[in-house]
Structure 1
Amino acid sequence: MLTETEGRVAVKLARKTIETLLLGGRVPGPRDAGTDLPPVFGENRGVFVTLTEKGMLRGCIGHPYPDSTLEQAIIDSAISAAVRDPRFPPVGGEELESLIVEVTILTQPEKINAPPKELPDKVEIGKHGLIVKQGYCQGLLLPQVAPENEMDSIDFLGHTCMKAGLSPDAWAKGAEVYCFEGQIFKEKEPEGEVIEEKF
């Protein structure tokens, strides 16, 4: 778990990365934050960066697994959320002042070992994010997606399957389901105070 101070640093690093890319015209690297980062940023963590504009999703990409340091994962995810999310056109520099930046730090995903009919009871809305895998297909939804969209556990499983390009009931037909938790830090308003969001 990150402290509130570390969470603020995480969001500021994501925003600084996007600003450097869009306004500076270069791809930021480690230590571009211009400050000494707390030790936790040297630990390997999974992370997602989410960008919203006027309440609408503008980009969301991340590292589901702890395959790089938190610092590098935030930098990579911030760049990808801003300019590589295939669902949206790249963010423009003029949008920076209207974007809300959110960083979700993930725990290691763990497979839910339960018969399909018991899976909905194993998913805690507001606590768990989900990954569904089947063959080459994989989909992930962050923990905040279910409460923000008023989903129950069956809806959440179904939407995660669809994110993977599978039928909504693939979870009941043998697809592997993994859960993880996320610690969410976000700006209350563009470039504003950073808070930890809990559901």
Structure 2
Amino acid sequence: MTSVAECAYCFECLSASLEKRRALSLRQTEELWMKYDASDADEPMEGDDGEDEDDEMEDAVAGEQAESAKPAAISRLLAPSPQSSSSSSLPSTSSSAPEPSSTSEYPLFVTWNTISRSGNKSLRGCIGTFESQELDDGLRNYALTSAFDDARFPPIALRELSSLECGVTLLTDFETAPGPMAWELGKHGLRISFTWHGRRYGATYLPDVPKEQGWTKEETLVSLMRKAGWTGRKDEWQKVGDLQVVRYQGKKASMGYREWREWRDWVDEQGGVDGNVALN
């Protein structure tokens, strides 16, 4: 389900929009991420063969060991592609390629957080949909919508890109809860609706929100009702009429800018010209 490749795709869509360039597709991002991840796994790790420093220096003289001692980016460039004889093109989309997640449809949310220099995380935008989306279009649309159109925040600017973290949550297992408290902290997200003063209100929290905030279940419900627009006394939330709770689960992945940038630089090394990958 949710993978860091989908977060990388959201970063790719946002970066391409801000830089006025063409973005990779989800399929291309997934395949390039797999290739990048595999190349990292193939690289030798220092000290993993049990030899002392002198022996390692002697072995480095040999041609085969010298190849493995090259910097990571050079090793990746020299490594033959498992799908193509040319390192300057994107991986093939033939039937031998792994099946991408972009063939599936899910309700989804894209979250942007700002990470401060001290490591503190603060919300920068979060918008999604409960309607199932084909992932290529859905992730692209909501990566940009949550970045530019969340009314709680100004649009994300290019200068902010390096401070961002992206989270992607794919939603599953929707159930009508038999009661307002019939759900589990850390497992379920909530979608509520209720009638108050003749008007209908509604709001949602993703599964990770209550635990991140340190809330109890009751505090979560009261906060969610406040988010929807309710202004009553917190000890009277149970008196609100027709409170309906739908619980759901979410599979989340996240990625920081640095991780995405390292991958994107590798993509450019494989065939980029002026920062743009040569697209097939």
Q: TM-score, normalised by structure 2?
A: 0.58
Pair 1:77-2:70 in alignment: no
Determine the structure 1 residue equivalent to 2:246.
Answer: 178
1:197 corresponding residue in structure 2? none
Over 3 Å counting, the alpha-carbon distance change for 1:34 and 1:180 in structure 2 is closer
- Are the equivalent residues in 1 in contact too, given 2:7–2:253 (CA < 8 A)? yes
* Aligned ranges 1:15-34 → 2 under 5 Å: 15-24=11-20, 32-33=25-26
Counterpart of 2:149, as a letter, is R
Structure 1 alignment gaps of length 5 or more: 194-199
Cα distance in 1 between the residues matched to 2:154 and 2:29: 33
Alpha carbons of structure 1 residues 141 and 170: separation in structure 2 relative to 1, 3 Å = farther
Give the secondary structure class of the aligned counterpart of 2:257: coil
Deviates more, 1:80-89 or 1:165-174: 165-174
Aligned to 2:66: none
Q: Pick closer, same or farther for the CA change 1:103–1:15 going to 2, 3 Å.
A: same
Q: 2:190 aligns with which of 130, 147, 156?
A: 130
Shift, 1:58, TM fit: 0.5
User: In structure 2, how many angstroms separate the alpha carbons of the residues matched to 1:123 and 1:152?
Assistant: 12
Name the structure with the higher helix share: 2
Deviation at 1:170, TM superposition (A): 6.0
Secondary structure of the equivalent of 2:131?
A: coil
Q: Aligned ranges for residues 113-192 of structure 1 at < 5 Å? A: 113-114=178-179, 119-120=180-181, 122-134=182-194, 136-167=200-231, 169=237, 173-187=241-255, 189-192=256-259
Corresponding pairs, count:
179
Residue type of the alignment partner of 2:126: C
**1:130–1:178 Cα contact (<8 Å) kept:** yes
Please tell me whether the aligned partners of residues 171 and 177 of structure 1 are also in contact (alpha carbons under 8 angstroms): no
- Establish whether residue 35 from structure 1 lines up as the match of residue 100 from structure 2: no
The match for 2:106 is 45
Which whole-Å deviations, capped at 9, do the CAs of 1:138-183 have from their partners, x for residues lacking one? 2011111000000111111111212221245268532211111111
RMSD (Å), alpha carbons: 2.3
Q: Is the 8 A contact 1:132 1:171 kept in 2?
A: no
Q: Deviations over 1:73-93 (max 9, x none)?
A: 211110111100000000001
Alpha-carbon distance in structure 2 between the residues aligned to 1:86 and 1:156: 22
* Counterpart residue identity of residue 137, structure 1: Y
**CA-CA distance at 1:65 after TM superposition:** 3.1
Q: Deviations over 1:63-119 (max 9, x none)?
A: 1232x21222211110111100000000001111110111111114321123xxxx3
Unaligned runs of 5+ in 2: 31-98, 116-120, 261-280
Preserved CA contact (<8 Å) 2:112 2:166? yes
* Aligned mates of 2:178, 2:106 — CA distance in 1: 23
1:196 is matched with which residue? none
Match for residue 4 of structure 2? 8
Closer/same/farther in 2, CA of residues 33 and 165 from structure 1, 3 Å limit: same
Structure with greater Cα Rg: 2
